Chain A
Amino acid sequence: MKITVDGKVLEVEEGISVLEACLQNGIFIPNLCFLKERERPHASCRLCFVQVEGMPTPTTSCTLPVKDGMVIHTNTPEVRRLQKTAFKLIMSGHPCHAKTCPVGKNCTLMKIAKFLGVGLGPKPYERLDREMPDLIDFGFMYYSPYRCVLCAKCIHVCKTQNGKPLLTFARRGFETIVAFFQDPLENTEEKCINCRACTNICPTGALVLKDTENVEREDEAQTA
């Protein structure tokens, strides 16, 4: 099956999404919530827009199955406008504290900002605040609602790798957070510390085990 992306003809396998096809072929499309193994794309971050010739408006590429002969543009002004708006909206609820952030230089958001050629601030939108603590204590790990972009990767891996989902969404709308549920009859802590699927997959450092260096520092700073 052949598709054309930005003038380049790619040979791709059937049944995959345009986003996957592009990433496989070294064409970067900004994304936060895409997980290959998911049966149905979560499609919540709204960053992976592309323009398909013959379609009236840009479409999210994670939800778009490849079709033979598809002609795709990843960088039209309209695509970029939507991506930049989505990114700035995310950043308006995600104050960047690069120095103390546990992801450090590995930050997906920084990579996307650089790719889109925008800063890490939310302008022209204002910063949005929620009445929530900076860190929520999940027992042996911390969750930061401000760092979290609600990509739901952690929820997915927790469910598929443990068979028993311990993470889920709580609250609604702008107040949505990831919550943690513990089985009181099981030694969840030990299991979780050995698993670490959620903390490993989190693209923004919103979930971190307490034993990581950075968090300890933050922890000390908070208690001090």
Chain B
Amino acid sequence: MKRYQEIKSEALKRLEQERADNAPIIRITMSTCARAAGAEETRKAIEEVLEERGLTAKIVNVGCLGHCYAEPLLIIDNPAVGFPPICYYEVTPNKAKLICRSYFEDGDPSFEYVLGAMEENDLIPPVTTFPRFSMEQRIVMEHCGLIDPWNIDHYLEKDGYASLASILEMQPDEVVEIIDRSGLRGRGGAGFPTGKKWRFARLQENTKRVVICNADEGDPGAYMDRTIIESNPHQLLEGLAICAYAVGADEAIIYVRAEYPLAVQTIRHAIKQAEEYGILGENILGSDFSLHVTVFQGSGAFVCGEETALIQSVEGKRGMPQHRPPYPVEKGLWGRPTVVNNVKTLASVPPIIRKGADWFRSIGTEGSPGTAIFSIVGNVKHAGLVEIAMGTTLRTLIFDICGGIPNKKKFKAVQIGGPSGGCLPEDFLDTPIDFDSLTKAGAMMGSGGMVVMDEDSCMVDVARYFLEFTQKESCGKCTFCRIGTKHLLNILDRITKGEGKEEDLEILQQLAEDIKKGSLCGLGKTAPNPVLTSLKYFMDEYIAHVKEKRCPALKCRALIAYYIDLEKCARGCEVCVGSCPVEAIFTAKGRKKAIDQELCVKCGECMAVCPPEYDAVFKVSPPELAPIVERPPDQQPKKASGEK
């Protein structure tokens, strides 16, 4: 503890020196999501304008705030002028220049671009007036987007590594006991009690134990682990070190996918810094405990997120799952007892140690204490990362916190748990989000991917999409997953093309059930979930596809047709003609337009460009509903006539 206090006070001294000039601080989000939204260009623009105008301000890169709908975000903190720290949203390079000029030169905080103030004040409404901020409860992501992930001092300033320092004075069993009492469950998807896993590892005779942090996040639309590593890597490292101390490991591996280059860089830098400070490596904080942390990059196979396949891959073998038992805690990497924990699980550990197991239990539900982190994407207004207390209902999360469905569309379904989860319809909106309730509903917690879908989504197509993913990601080892998912996908393909037979639905149901029961690993066991839940809750859509060859959501291309309403079409308007990539639109009687159904590829461009005052293009299913307009001989497309 003494060594820790020294390290911390040195860090504080350095920060104090840095801030001695009282210069304004501009914090800009610089995680992968912000960079994708143009944060690098925005930063460059700020640098330019500061240089141009001779302004002094420090630019600090921070991680992701979780508000991905508003990226890139900027927080300007200038206590000297009496403004609270102000958060700006969707800051493009030009907007950044404008904000900087008016803020620093005219003393005008540009209210029109303000998302909110980061503190309570009398001038600007704080962000906490928005449910997206106030209804969240942040434990794991508490510091994400607020501190510089590349500077360990920032984490130390927030009492970082204090939990590690405190547990080094305890017996490992006491640490396991705290985690066990907190009721923390694995955040990787299955929800296995973390304390129990650690205890198993401690009970192993073999003392050459290993801890692996699983950051091989691969669900489509899920990016929680990446964001945590990019935004606050030290909280993860602290959790990892606590875990290693508790289970008696001196070696830890962080398994990150190679497709996360920024996360890999960030965590490597963080490890180096922590080692320099004596927080990792030999004799941590002056104690007898040593821990060597290495980063292992996964090569892109989704199945390597499954712990036994992950271990095979670290050993240099083909990433194929193994039968359990023996579980990795008994016989894992190189035959040694191995604790595999998810990023969010480990990052939850330091706050639990600091505030106690009872505090953690007071959040969330009886069976699932703590918080859940979701990356909410799809048809939802305020997409991004959300950390909420377990037990919050889906309705609260989607409608109150994330602002509901955009464009006045109706909610249709929510897909939870990625390709392994299920699609839940409106009736389930009042389901509390926790491990047991979601599993009961037929979905699963998964690692935290959540896709919200509006009325324009076809559930058969959604099931087909997820099946296509899992089928492609099957490792090819066991019969049910390798061949069974291929059959499921073929049948779904047929149905979305209008070639489905009535018996297909029965085969689909039976085969999906058998794959679930018969597969070797978690990937195969959960792959049929999107099919099973959509069959259960959206059977009418399947029947419409199979019996009436109709797609109720007007999504499946083979089952729809576009046509132009001659009553509404404006005489002489040519907008749609130019938009058509295949020359399917021709001039019919009265200089109005019509679509040649034989040529139409159903791209929907004409519908998108038709001026709103006419709104003459319609989409129907089945395609036979579209009125046929004869194409006059003098109106043949150029290509076709050329061929003749």
Which A residues are closer than 8 A to B by beta carbons? 40-47, 49, 57-58, 60, 63, 81-82, 85-86, 89-90, 92-93, 124-126, 128, 149-150, 168-169, 171-176
- Which one, A47, A124, A173, contacts B471 given CB within 8 A? A173
Q: Which 6 A-B pairs have the closest CB atoms?
A: A176-B476, A89-B483, A173-B474, A43-B323, A85-B514, A46-B479
- Which one, B323, B476, B503, B514, contacts A150 given CB within 8 A? B476
CB distance B490 to A85 under 8 Å? no
B479-516 interface bits toward A, Cβ cutoff 8 Å, 1 = contact, 0 = none: 11011101100100000000000010001001100100
B318 at the interface (CB under 8 A from A): yes
Expressed in whole angstroms, the minimum distance between the Cβ of A174 and any Cβ of chain B is 5
Which of chain B's residues has its CB closest to A93's CB? B483
Known: A90-B483, A124-B503, A171-B476. 13 other contacts (CB 8 A): A43-B323, A44-B478, A44-B520, A46-B478, A63-B323, A85-B480, A85-B518, A86-B518, A89-B480, A126-B487, A169-B318, A174-B476, A174-B482
B61 at the interface (CB under 8 A from A): no
Q: Chain B residues near A173 (CB, 8 Å)?
A: 471-476, 482
Q: Which of B510-560 contact A (CB under 8 A)?
A: 510-511, 514, 517-520
Expressed in whole angstroms, the minimum distance between the Cβ of B234 and any Cβ of chain A is 36
Q: Chain B residues near A125 (CB, 8 Å)?
A: 487, 507, 511
Which of chain A's residues has its CB closest to B326's CB? A40
Q: Which of B310-342 contact A (CB under 8 A)?
A: 318, 320, 322-323, 326
The CA-CA distance from A174 to B480 in the complex, in Å, is 11
Expressed in whole angstroms, the minimum distance between the Cβ of A32 and any Cβ of chain B is 9
B477 at the interface (CB under 8 A from A): yes
Expressed in whole angstroms, the minimum distance between the Cβ of B495 and any Cβ of chain A is 14
Q: With A57-B517, A82-B514, A85-B511 in contact, do A176 and B503 touch (Cβ < 8 Å)?
A: no
Which of chain B's residues has its CB closest to A32's CB? B479
Q: Chain B residues near A174 (CB, 8 Å)?
A: 471, 474, 476, 482-483, 486
B301 at the interface (CB under 8 A from A): yes
CB distance B520 to A124 under 8 Å? no
The CA-CA distance from A143 to B459 in the complex, in Å, is 41
CB distance B518 to A92 under 8 Å? no
CB distance A89 to B520 under 8 Å? no
CB distance A46 to B476 under 8 Å? no
Q: Chain B residues near A85 (CB, 8 Å)?
A: 480, 484, 510-511, 514, 518
Q: Chain B residues near A60 (CB, 8 Å)?
A: 323
The CA-CA distance from A40 to B479 in the complex, in Å, is 18
Which of chain A's residues has its CB closest to B494's CB? A126
The CA-CA distance from A171 to B475 in the complex, in Å, is 9
Which of chain B's residues has its CB closest to A176's CB? B476
CB distance A41 to B518 under 8 Å? no
Residue from A45, A47, A86, A172 whose CB has the most chain B CB atoms within 10 Å: A172
Which B residues are closer than 8 A to A by beta carbons? 301, 318, 320, 322-323, 326, 471-480, 482-484, 486-487, 490, 503, 507, 510-511, 514, 517-520
- Which one, B322, B474, B478, B514, contacts A172 given CB within 8 A? B474
- Which one, A82, A124, A128, A172, contacts B486 given CB within 8 A? A128
Q: Chain A residues near B473 (CB, 8 Å)?
A: 173
Expressed in whole angstroms, the minimum distance between the Cβ of A80 and any Cβ of chain B is 12
The CA-CA distance from A73 to B431 in the complex, in Å, is 39
Expressed in whole angstroms, the minimum distance between the Cβ of B461 and any Cβ of chain A is 21
The CA-CA distance from A125 to B484 in the complex, in Å, is 9
Q: With A172-B474, A173-B472 in contact, do A89 and B517 touch (Cβ < 8 Å)?
A: no
- Which one, B323, B474, B487, B510, contacts A92 given CB within 8 A? B487
Q: List 12 A-B contacts (CB under 8 A).
A: A40-B323, A43-B478, A45-B479, A49-B518, A92-B483, A93-B483, A150-B477, A169-B320, A174-B471, A174-B486, A176-B477, A176-B482
The CA-CA distance from A82 to B485 in the complex, in Å, is 15
Q: Chain A residues near B301 (CB, 8 Å)?
A: 172
Q: Chain A residues near B322 (CB, 8 Å)?
A: 40
CB distance B482 to A150 under 8 Å? yes
The CA-CA distance from A27 to B517 in the complex, in Å, is 24
Which of chain B's residues has its CB closest to A171's CB? B476
Q: Chain A residues near B323 (CB, 8 Å)?
A: 40-41, 43, 60, 63
Which of chain B's residues has its CB closest to A92's CB? B483
Q: Chain B residues near A46 (CB, 8 Å)?
A: 478-480, 518-520
Q: Chain B residues near A43 (CB, 8 Å)?
A: 323, 478, 520
Expressed in whole angstroms, the minimum distance between the Cβ of A173 and any Cβ of chain B is 4
CB distance B507 to A124 under 8 Å? yes
- Which one, B318, B479, B514, contacts A90 given CB within 8 A? B479
CB distance A89 to B318 under 8 Å? no
Q: Chain A residues near B478 (CB, 8 Å)?
A: 43-46
Expressed in whole angstroms, the minimum distance between the Cβ of B330 and any Cβ of chain A is 12
Expressed in whole angstroms, the minimum distance between the Cβ of B291 and any Cβ of chain A is 29
Expressed in whole angstroms, the minimum distance between the Cβ of A39 and any Cβ of chain B is 10
Q: With A44-B520, A82-B514, A172-B301 in contact, do A89 and B484 touch (Cβ < 8 Å)?
A: yes
The CA-CA distance from A81 to B515 in the complex, in Å, is 11
Expressed in whole angstroms, the minimum distance between the Cβ of A34 and any Cβ of chain B is 12
Expressed in whole angstroms, the minimum distance between the Cβ of B619 and any Cβ of chain A is 32
Expressed in whole angstroms, the minimum distance between the Cβ of B472 and any Cβ of chain A is 6
Q: Chain B residues near A57 (CB, 8 Å)?
A: 517
Expressed in whole angstroms, the minimum distance between the Cβ of A131 and any Cβ of chain B is 13
Expressed in whole angstroms, the minimum distance between the Cβ of B192 and any Cβ of chain A is 18
Q: With A124-B503, A173-B475 in contact, do A58 and B517 touch (Cβ < 8 Å)?
A: yes
Q: Chain B residues near A86 (CB, 8 Å)?
A: 479-480, 514, 518
Q: Chain A residues near B486 (CB, 8 Å)?
A: 128, 174
Which of chain B's residues has its CB closest to A41's CB? B323
CB distance A82 to B517 under 8 Å? yes
CB distance B487 to A89 under 8 Å? yes
Expressed in whole angstroms, the minimum distance between the Cβ of A204 and any Cβ of chain B is 13
Residue from A45, A81, A86, A173 whose CB has the most chain B CB atoms within 10 Å: A173
Q: Chain A residues near B475 (CB, 8 Å)?
A: 172-173, 176
Q: Chain B residues near A176 (CB, 8 Å)?
A: 475-477, 482
Q: Chain A residues near B514 (CB, 8 Å)?
A: 81-82, 85-86
CB distance B474 to A89 under 8 Å? no
The CA-CA distance from A173 to B303 in the complex, in Å, is 11
Which of chain B's residues has its CB closest to A172's CB? B476
Expressed in whole angstroms, the minimum distance between the Cβ of B6 and any Cβ of chain A is 49
The CA-CA distance from A175 to B473 in the complex, in Å, is 11
Expressed in whole angstroms, the minimum distance between the Cβ of A73 and any Cβ of chain B is 16
Expressed in whole angstroms, the minimum distance between the Cβ of B520 and any Cβ of chain A is 6
Q: Chain B residues near A90 (CB, 8 Å)?
A: 479, 483
The CA-CA distance from A175 to B482 in the complex, in Å, is 9
Q: Chain B residues near A40 (CB, 8 Å)?
A: 322-323, 326
The CA-CA distance from A125 to B476 in the complex, in Å, is 19
Q: Chain B residues near A171 (CB, 8 Å)?
A: 476
Expressed in whole angstroms, the minimum distance between the Cβ of B354 and any Cβ of chain A is 40
Residue from B323, B326, B475, B518 whose CB has the most chain A CB atoms within 10 Å: B518
Q: Chain B residues near A150 (CB, 8 Å)?
A: 476-477, 482
The CA-CA distance from A93 to B490 in the complex, in Å, is 14
